[in-house]
Amino acid sequence: MKRSSRLVINGKLVEARAGESLIDAALGGSILVPHDCRSGQCQSCRVTVVSGSVDDGGSGHGRTVLACQAAVAGDAEIEFEELPIPVKRAGAVTEVNQLSSEIAEVVLTTSAPLEFRPGQYVRVKFSGYPAREFSPTFRLDGSFNQLELVFHIRCLPDGTVSGQLGKAIRPGHAAHVQGPFGQAYLRQGQGPLVLVAGGAGWAPIWALARSARSTQRNREMAIVVGSRDVDNLYMLPSLQWLIDDGVRDVIATTEVGSTQPIRPGRPSHYLPLLGLEDTVYVAGPLGLVETVKNKARSANAQCYADPFLPSSQTPSLMDKVARLWRSREQPHRPGL
């Protein structure tokens, strides 16, 4: 193996060292490959190997590799789609709306617009609380404001962050946003779109669907979405928006208490017959995402996935100090 290699990235020649990651090789040539975790989980840094070869580090899929895992192994040419560069924005909570017993809509107003591709995610840090990752979306009636970021968040009673929505975290609460990240964003194409979501996974899928109806109107679209019970099918207004806009294949499911037109079972039970021309996007619980990915892989359909994983992050020392200080500043009222 040569000690140095000629690496061409999006048409620019970079001198790279054998064994260094593609991300580091690109940074050495003043090229920023979009990335976030650098551990292979977020999929933000997937690039296409046009020619030559690289050590894929176990991340290969077709002609693509993850630049954080793949290493320089010789002369090669790689390409990636240039996405909005992650930035930071200050903002504040302006609305907390309960969409169902489990899902809250949280609206942040930011100091300046944050550009993102539909389906990407951002990192949100409410003041005094650990950061969490959420997918910006549209309001359920399809409307949006460039200075607003709208999120659908599943509320867990013991959740460090979600358990405080509408309580300690309410309108006026300061927040910072960083992003965008992620590879499960809407791409140009001609074939049918198959969009699948479970629970709050509807947030990125609704962003994809709403945007596709504006920018790729001639593409066929099939939508399958579900929740555990009827009460948490919070996305029904947005499904109706899509139906009114001409989308014919829209299916809603619940595992408990379904009545027509809601179908019993999980979204994966109602996937259309997939083929080479289909592009599948799926977001939500890990089990649903893995099932849909496997079905897409079996049909040789392109699939972009956004699994929602429970956060195990705990507050930092500074977070705890900030929360304590804020609690001391708030007046205490007897009986409350």
- Domain check: are 303 and 234 in the same one? yes
Query: Burial, 193: exposed, middle or buried (Cβ in 10 Å; 0-12, 13-18, 19+)?
Result: buried
Domain-located, residue 333: no
Q: Which of 62-66, 113-117, 151-155, 294-298 has the lowest mean pLDDT?
A: 62-66
Digit-coded pLDDT (tens) for 312-327:
544 444 444 444 444 4
Single residue among 45, 79, 113 that ends a domain in this structure: 79
Digit-coded pLDDT (tens) for 226-281:
999 999 999 999 999 999 999 999 999 999 988 999 999 999 999 999 999 999 99
Single residue among 131, 160, 181 that ends a domain in this structure: 181
- Domain check: are 200 and 216 in the same one? yes
Single residue among 144, 159, 181 that ends a domain in this structure: 181
Percent of the chain's residues with pLDDT above 90: 79
pTM score, whole prediction = 0.80
Per-residue pLDDT band at 146 (split at 50, 70, 90): very high
- Domain check: are 284 and 238 in the same one? yes
- Domain check: are 62 and 147 in the same one? no
Domain-located, residue 325: no
- Domain check: are 248 and 293 in the same one? yes
Q: Which of 10-14, 136-140, 312-316 has the lowest mean pLDDT?
A: 312-316
Give residues with Cβ within 8 angstroms of 234, minimum separation 6: 99, 100, 103, 140, 152, 202, 227
Q: In which residue are the tokens 């609690």 written?
A: 327
pLDDT of residue 331: 37
Domain-located, residue 335: no
How far is the C-alpha of 48 from the C-alpha of 301, rounded, in Å? 17
Domain-located, residue 316: no
- Domain check: are 16 and 93 in the same one? no
CATH of the domain at 204: 3.40.50.80
Q: Is residue 31 a contact partner of residue 47, using CB atoms and an 8 Å limit?
A: no
Q: In which residue are the tokens 């195990």 written?
A: 312
- Domain check: are 97 and 168 in the same one? yes
Digit-coded pLDDT (tens) for 72-85:
999 999 998 888 88
Q: Which amino acid is at 311?
A: S
Domain-located, residue 102: yes
CATH of the domain at 32: 3.10.20.30
pLDDT of residue 306: 92
- Domain check: are 60 and 105 in the same one? no
Domain-located, residue 258: yes
- Domain check: are 197 and 170 in the same one? no
Per-residue pLDDT band at 40 (split at 50, 70, 90): confident
Domain-located, residue 38: yes
Q: List the Cα angle 209/164/334 in 5-degree steps.
A: 145
The closest alpha carbon to 135, from 74, 76, 177, 173, belongs to: 177
Domain-located, residue 329: no
Into how many domains does the chain fold?
Answer: 3
Q: What is the mean pLDDT of residues 55-77?
A: 92
- Domain check: are 96 and 67 in the same one? no
Query: Higher model confidence: residue 319 or residue 195?
Result: 195
- Domain check: are 158 and 209 in the same one? no
Residue 265: domain span: 193-307
